[in-house]
Amino acid sequence: MLVMMKSHATADEISAVCRKIELMGFKAHPIPGITRTAIGITGNQGPVEAAALEALPGVGECVPVSKPYKLVGREVKEATTIIDLGDGVRIGGSEVAIIAGPCAVETREQTRAVAEAVAAAGAKLFRGGAYKPRTSPYSFQGLAEDGLKILAEVRRDFGLRIVTEAIDVESVDIVERYGDVIQIGARNMQNFSLLKRAGRSSKPVLLKRGISATLDEMLMAAEYILSEGNYNVIFCERGIRTFADHTRNTLDLSVVPAVQRLSHLPIIVDPSHGTGRREKVIPLSRGAIAVGADGLMIEVHAHPEEALSDGNQSIQPPEFRQLMAEIRQIATVVGRTVSPEPADIASRSTIQAQLLQ
Ligand code: PEP
Ligand code: MN
């Protein structure tokens, strides 16, 4: 059930309703909207007694939630959630969020080279795995904390926000210390203990669609995170397993408007994993922006043929720059923007490099 507060309800009135819900033995989730706050109730097995809540000051009405997900749906919040990472870096706003970087952090030099290039092309968020979920136990598994330290340097030196994956409950502790956004990978979309742990983090979570997950399964996975109190979740469409073999996965761009109709959470698209083929990344990026995605996640490597993972789908810095230029044009058609190339990035990184010496 949702408790819809009146538009002029005070903070004290909202807290009093939350206290009452907790006294009833449930969990209260106050979610501010543009005109009024809605308070979601979770933890109840049967119907909640509405009368006791409707009698409280500031309460407009109690409404039942028609969907199995109570907190990710648009019923609780009409406006799209904007995840604010500070200094004008937002996911879900009118500016499309571009996350770019290598599949894995391999070395400091490799990572910094890509970071400098993607920042110069206008990206504001950087990706790179320090913990890699690999199909084979013999493949490169990531640099772990050493990789996270390199990512922290990238944030400091290039002003990029860091998106990096936690592959299990244990790794969340360290990933949330170094990263700005915790990525939960496709293989872990239904790792419920990991989802609950991420739900207790103060950092936003990028939740990738499971390899064969339906829309409802993806929404319910996000519900696990929100139900623990973390309301900052970003969905990521990264392709699903189908019979098609001309691509690694089948990128399902139709899920973007489907998610946007049902949920207030932003959704971005990863055409790198979604296609698995370098030459398809730019065309599908154009498509993702045209379809209304809130952002892109792109794998970039200066020497893809030497990459320790996902070289086949990694584009090089010049192609990434071209991608940015193309989506800038497409974004205007759908009423969005893509950040411009910062004029001062080259000089800034040179100055910073000098300072570090
Ligand atoms: C990744 O982003 O590098 C990754 C492993 O993605 P996914 O979980 O979508 O396969
Ligand atoms: Mn990858």
What would the mean pLDDT of 267-296 be, rounded to a whole number?
A: 98
Residue 355 has a pLDDT of: 53
CA of 296 to the centre of ligand 1 (A): 13
Residue 47 has a pLDDT of: 85
Q: Let me know: does 339 contact 160? Beta carbons within 8 Å.
A: no
Is residue 30 left, alpha or beta, with left meaning phi > 0 and alpha meaning psi from -120 to 50?
beta
Residues 225, 231, 232, 238, CA torsion sign: positive
d(CA 244, CA 252): 12
Query: And the tokens for 176?
Result: 């949330």
Residue 353 has a pLDDT of: 58
Q: Let me know: does 191 contact 148? Beta carbons within 8 Å.
A: no
**What percentage of the chain carries pLDDT values higher than 90?**
93
CA of 309 to the centre of ligand 2 (A): 6
Q: Which atom of ligand 1 is nearest to the CA of 209?
A: 9
Say which residues have a Cβ less than 8 Å from residue 265's Cβ, sequence separation at least 6.
Answer: 72, 80, 81, 92, 222, 233, 234, 235, 259
- Whether 185 lines ligand 1, by a CB cut-off of 6 Å, is yes
Q: How many CB atoms lie within 10 A of CB 219?
A: 22
- Cα–Cα nearest to 43, from 234, 223, 262, 205: 223
Q: How confident is the model at residue 45 (pLDDT cuts 50, 70, 90)?
A: confident
What would the mean pLDDT of 264-288 be, rounded to a whole number?
A: 98
- Whether 207 lines ligand 1, by a CB cut-off of 6 Å, is no
What residue's CA is closest to ligand 1, atom 6? 185
Domain 83-344: state its class: alpha beta
Two domains, one topology: 2-63 and 83-344: no
Q: Which atom of ligand 1 is nearest to the CA of 185?
A: 8
Strands 59-63 and 233-237: unpaired
Q: How confident is the model at residue 110 (pLDDT cuts 50, 70, 90)?
A: very high
- Whether 273 lines ligand 1, by a CB cut-off of 6 Å, is yes
pTM over 0.85: yes
CA of 53 to the centre of ligand 1 (A): 44
CA of 127 to the centre of ligand 2 (A): 10
Q: How confident is the model at residue 71 (pLDDT cuts 50, 70, 90)?
A: very high
pLDDT of 269 over the 80 cut: yes
- Whether 301 lines ligand 1, by a CB cut-off of 6 Å, is no
Residue reference for tokens 């706003």: 93
pLDDT in tens, 330-351: 999 999 999 999 986 555 555 5
In the DSSP assignment, the letter for residue 137 is T
Residue 121 has a pLDDT of: 98
- Whether 292 lines ligand 1, by a CB cut-off of 6 Å, is no
Each domain of the chain, given as residue ranges in start order, spans 2-63, 83-344
- Whether 197 lines ligand 1, by a CB cut-off of 6 Å, is no
Domain 2-63: state its class: alpha beta
